[in-house]
Amino acid sequence: MYSPVRNGLIILFAALLSAPALATNYVQAAGSSLVFAGTYQGEVFTGRFPGFDTRLSFDPDHLDTSSLRVSIPLATATTANSDYDGEMRGKSFFNAAQFPTAQYNATTFRKLGDNRYAADGTLSLHGVSKPVTLQFTWTPGAHPVLSGKATVRRLDFGVGSGDWADTDLIPDSIAVSTKVVLQPAQ
Amino acid sequence: MNWKNPVDRWGPVSQAFHWLIVVLIVVMAYLGLTMTDLPNSPHKIALYSLHKSVGLTILALVTCRLLWRLYAGTPRVLDSIPRWQARVAAWTHWALYALLFAMPISGWVVNSAAGFPLQWFHLFNLPPIAHKDQALHELARSTHETLFWTLVALVAVHAGAALMHHVVWHDATLARMLPRRWLRVRQASPTPQDAHHVQPRA
């Protein structure tokens, strides 16, 4: 008996086997966070970016086909101190009115060991695009977790210009860390 | 040299505390009155930092000053001063001491409630003494300001009285808070008749 349906399935299956492996597509799930920290007058301040959004295609065995895209709204960035927030979102720093979103895109990944990887991506912030490396650990599972750290030199992006460029007051290097809980994209 | 307070005048340590704090209060008043209206900038932050550092310094100084006063004693009230005046003066002095504590402490609460760091001349940090709280911040801020104007009023009374004692009543009240021979106290006030008899020579 000759079934065109069965024949078609066999062809499809064969095609899947021979095609280059595609990384799994993930979207961000609840429980994710993107935070930053620096020092000010001898104390550590921290802040977070609520509403950031992550799209990830990742396969530890096929890093070449992996990609990461994060979009970060800046108008809601907060340090939980209204005096700081007003200044941070304003013209001298993020200028969120003109540059409402920062974007981090990476398509180059390196394996560092065990579950550790580095993404060599580009951060677009405040109208400036520059390379930023994100080091992360990858915890596989039904809801994989990407835990990463990066250092962003704020002055490279013109964040805190003019008098605010004084690094004695606010250091150039701002530590960014993230924990992204992922789920397969529908 | 006797560092403590003799019976007739304030000793050098008490005088140093007194005048140093006077100078710092003037600096604080100038900073406090001008810094708040500035637009946000590192310059504004530097002025606030200085205000906080000097305020903490005054808090430390007034603590030491009171301890020194306990140890070194106080000079006797001048015989010529009526009792009611001595009593008013004593109340004013204690109110001034209280304000010298209340000003920096209320400022510390303002800073704590706002959630700002507190650093002493870039050298070390001090912890907050209140929780971060917007309502408390507003309250402490207005208290700090009210206390300041109360201090201004009391300082006016205190300094005004000291000048009256020196210029009008010619007693040693002001001179004994200054190093010896800085201020000459006229022993007795000339009567109008005496003045009348002084004739310019031809």
* Overall number of domains in chain B: 1
Residue B197 lies in a domain: no
The pLDDT-based confidence of A46 (bands split at 50, 70, 90) is: very high
Residue B104 lies in a domain: yes
Average pLDDT (A7-18) is: 55
Backbone angles phi, psi at A123, to 5 degrees: -100, 125
Residue B166 lies in a domain: yes
CB–CB of A40 and B117 under 8 A?
yes
Residue B1 lies in a domain: no
Return the closest-CA partner of residue A36 out of A182, A181, A173.
A173
pTM for the whole structure: 0.83
Instruction: For chain B, give the mean pLDDT.
Output: 91
CB–CB of A164 and B114 under 8 A?
no
Q: What's the CATH code of the domain at B115?
A: 1.20.950.20
Contact with chain A for residue B117, Cβ under 8 A: yes
Average pLDDT (A77-89) is: 94
CB–CB of A42 and B45 under 8 A?
no
CA distance A121 to A178: 15
Give the pair of three-digit tokens for residue A49: 């970016």
Among left, alpha and beta (phi > 0; psi -120 to 50; other), residue B147 is alpha
Q: How many CB pairs under 8 A join A and B?
A: 33
Give the pair of three-digit tokens for residue B125: 């940090």
pLDDT, residue A141, reads: 92
CB–CB of B49 and A83 under 8 A?
no
- What domains can you pick out in chain A, each with its CATH number? 22-184 (2.40.128.110)
Residue B30 lies in a domain: yes
Question: Residue B159 sits in which domain range?
Answer: 12-186
pLDDT, residue A6, reads: 64
CA distance B129 to B116: 12
pLDDT, residue B100, reads: 98
Cβ–Cβ under 8 Å, residues A94 and A159? yes
Q: Which of residues 151-170 of A touch B (CB under 8 A)?
A: 163-164, 166, 169
Residue B198 lies in a domain: no
Say what angle helices B12-35 and B134-163 make with each other, to 10 degrees: 130
- Does residue A15 carry a pLDDT above 60? no
Average pLDDT (B82-104) is: 96
Question: Mind telling me how many Å the CA of A49 is from chain B's nearest CA?
Answer: 20
Residue B202 lies in a domain: no
Among left, alpha and beta (phi > 0; psi -120 to 50; other), residue B58 is alpha
ipTM score above 0.85: no
pLDDT, residue B195, reads: 41
Residue B4 lies in a domain: no
pLDDT, residue B186, reads: 77
The pLDDT-based confidence of B23 (bands split at 50, 70, 90) is: very high
Cβ–Cβ under 8 Å, residues A120 and A110? yes
CA distance B94 to B86: 12
